[in-house]
Amino acid sequence: MSVSCGVEWAVILGCLRWGWKRCTYVSSDDSANWPIATPEEFEPIPRVCRIILSVYEPDLHHPLYTPLGGYRLNPNWAIKRVDYEQTLGHAPPYLIYIDHDNKEIVLAIRGLNLVKDSDYKLLLDNQLGMQMFDGGYVHHGLLKSAIWILNNESEFLRRTWEENGKEYKMVFAGHSLGAGVASLLSLIVVNHTDMLGGISRNSVRCYAVAPARCMSLNLAVKYADVIYSVVLQDDFLPRTPTPLEDIFESIFCLPCLLFIACLRDTFISEDKKLRDPRRLYAPGRIYHIVERKCCRCGRYPPEVRTGIPVDGRFEHVVLSCNATSDHAIIWIEREAENALERLKEQSMETIMNPPQVQKLTRTQTLKKEHRDALDRAIRLNIPHASTTAEEEKEEESSSESSTAEHSQDDRRNSSVAKRMHCKNAQTSWNEVVEKLFKRNESRQLLLQEDAPVIE
């Protein structure tokens, strides 16, 4: 009797402890250790949010849903608009806008329409591990939609890019459902740049606002230099690992679904989550807008934290009354604009160097953060994780060799051959160790006195 009572109390206390941890868990904990974003890197996001909002307008010259402060767009620069009648259910409506002020060609895709069956079909067209792409897994329905858009607009985008002197950046943006389509669209373009006239990877950007989980972890980290995701506080969609069909089948009982998802994911080990290559995540680098604190009523001035998380990439669903309202594009645009103004004010107060120097330093930091995230994914044994460092070295060596062949004489070519020979010798590291070193009884490496010379 006493044993059974003890077991019951242990179970009750365990459940109470789990419930307390889940109810007191706040979304700001996910990005607590992330650095604060700079105003230079966050500046495009409010502007892109307004372009996405303009997709909902039937006529930009006479807007019906103007956000606070207006769209601040030139209606004459919206060169193409595609509605549901033209997409025939293959993709959400989208808008192509040329931003001459910032030298960008923006393809903006709207979010989920709750009254359109075609949008639901896109989300439901997926199963766990159904679609592979570039060594990882992606959402099947969203990939089909991205391919459809590219097949119909690649020639138009290529011609527009060439007519503007090939100097403009190609920007893909979307909200919710459209964010997933835009993310996969950028993946295709980066891997097939010839479809847009040979545009470089550095000229392609994607801004995924409140994105659905659409790609595996190795792809999310690999393309963090191209895709930038924006998440407002407690937004449920980037955090929900449950299949999307369960969400929309239970749309009228979303709190129950979120509770079940919390309960299930709490008892799944972190290693098991990371080892599953089919598990989808929010894409790219993440900008987390935080505006609420635990045990504090109301909102406070928002701050933007950014990072490329590998383990713990928004794994926990937050039980919050704002989980659905934080998903609205109108709120994200408003808070992103407030956060940008606050970042600029802080920058003016603390700046010590010219803005150009600060911008160059931050660009180097972004690249280093991306390399560190790739290395961490490899250390954690993420399936199919890879680093681009070797590819960059191969490209540099090939470019150097081609330049030497066309610009140097025979003596220069012979010296290049010697360097290549040395490079090949360095790659065979085990052979070099065997020739130069020997091991003693304690298995320590000692340099041999009569070691042969390695040419």
Cα 139-30-269 angle, rounded to 5 deg:
65
Please report the pLDDT score of residue 342 as a whole number.
92
What predicted TM-score, i.e. pTM, was given to this entire model? 0.78
- With 0-12 / 13-18 / 19 or more C-beta atoms within 10 angstroms meaning exposed / middle / buried, residue 100 is exposed
Q: 313 by DSSP, 3-state: which?
A: coil
pLDDT tens-digit profile of 368-403? 889 888 888 888 788 888 765 445 544 455 555 544
Say what angle helices 117-124 and 177-191 make with each other, to 10 degrees: 60
- What percent of the chain shows pLDDT beyond 90? 42
- Strand 303-307, strand 437-439: pairing: unpaired
pLDDT tens-digit profile of 22-33? 666 677 888 888
Please report the pLDDT score of residue 431 as a whole number.
52
pLDDT tens-digit profile of 267-282? 666 666 777 778 899 9
Beta strands in 31-103 (DSSP E): 78-82, 94-99
pLDDT tens-digit profile of 396-428? 555 555 444 444 544 444 443 444 343 343 334
- Tokens found for residue 182: 């835009």
Cα 37-41-43 angle, rounded to 5 deg:
105
CA distance 455 to 447: 17
